[in-house]
Amino acid sequence: MRHPSSDFIYEISENLSDNMRIINAGSGSDQHPTQALLDFYTIWKYGLENKKVAFVGDLLRGRTVRSLSLLLNLIPSIKLYFVSPDKFQIKNDILEQLNIDYVCTDDFEKVLPEMDVVYMVRLQDEYGGTNEVIDTNKYSINNSNINRLKNDAIILHPLPRRNEIAVEIDKDKRAKYWEQVENGMWIRVSLIINIFAINEL
């Protein structure tokens, strides 16, 4: 189920029988659990322990960031960096659930060289709620700053993107967002198989 309202998934689940399963494929600006699973899997392939992960962009309405933050919270050695202008910073309801170290900052250039994972998100302007816009030049990856990133770091994006990742970065070995897309197909296949208790294909 995918719906623009954050609460619709809960309203529906309360009116279904206990044996009815729902896959939340995106609930407004609140959560996107299947995206979090594929993101987590993609990071896991490159190592989870002792990693520094930066979420960059519109974190206020970025449902993928909200879901992935809570999933990464299961790994004690991870440290999260929420990189955004104050007006677009992640909400306290997520921060209050975190048991791992985290930093909230608006200085992307400062933290960029330290990061093992950089998770970029676009401006979620379809939700409205503010007339302010992000200075995308301060929260983007392009040829002017890509060399400041570690050689073994990875760049992720839930897609679609705008100009927060320049097209020329697509050929960089650290760009893993196309791999993310493929991982999403298999993660969702696995989820459906699990729900229907299929033992053989």
Q: 201 in a domain, yes or no?
A: no
Mean pLDDT of 118-132: 71
Name the phi and psi angles at 33, rounded to 5: -60, -40
pLDDT reading at 126 higher than 70 = no
- Nearest-CA neighbor of 36 among 75, 5, 87? 75
CATH of the domain at 108: 3.40.50.1370
pLDDT at 33: 85
Q: 200 in a domain, yes or no?
A: no
Q: 3 in a domain, yes or no?
A: no
Between 131 and 95, name the one with better pLDDT. 95
pLDDT at 137: 80
pLDDT reading at 124 higher than 80 = no
Convert the pLDDT of each residue in 42-99 to its tens digit: 999 999 999 999 999 999 888 899 999 999 999 999 999 999 999 899 999 999 999 9
Q: Which domain, by its residues, includes 140? A: 8-195
* Secondary structure (3-state) at 28: coil
Task: Please give the model's pTM, rounded to 2 decimal places.
Answer: 0.86
pLDDT at 45: 94
Q: 1 in a domain, yes or no?
A: no
Tokens read off for 130: 């503010």
pLDDT reading at 191 higher than 90 = no
3-state secondary structure string, 80-95?
A: EEEECCHHHCCCHHHH
Tokens read off for 45: 């392939």
Q: 57 in a domain, yes or no?
A: yes
**Interior angle at CA 114, CA 77 and CA 136, nearest 5:** 115
Q: 74 in a domain, yes or no?
A: yes
Amino acid making up residue 38: L
pLDDT reading at 130 higher than 80 = no
Q: 145 in a domain, yes or no?
A: yes
Measured CA to CA in angstroms, residue 146 lies from 83, 117, 165 at distances of: 17, 13, 10
pLDDT reading at 100 higher than 90 = yes
Convert the pLDDT of each residue in 135-189 to its tens digit: 778 899 999 999 999 999 999 999 888 889 999 999 999 999 999 999 999 998 9
**Tally of domains within the chain:** 1
pLDDT at 131: 54
For residues 139 and 152, what is the distance between their CA atoms, to the nearest angstrom? Answer: 21
Please, what is the end-to-end C-alpha distance for the chain in angstroms? 25
Name the phi and psi angles at 113, rounded to 5: -65, -20
Q: 128 in a domain, yes or no?
A: yes
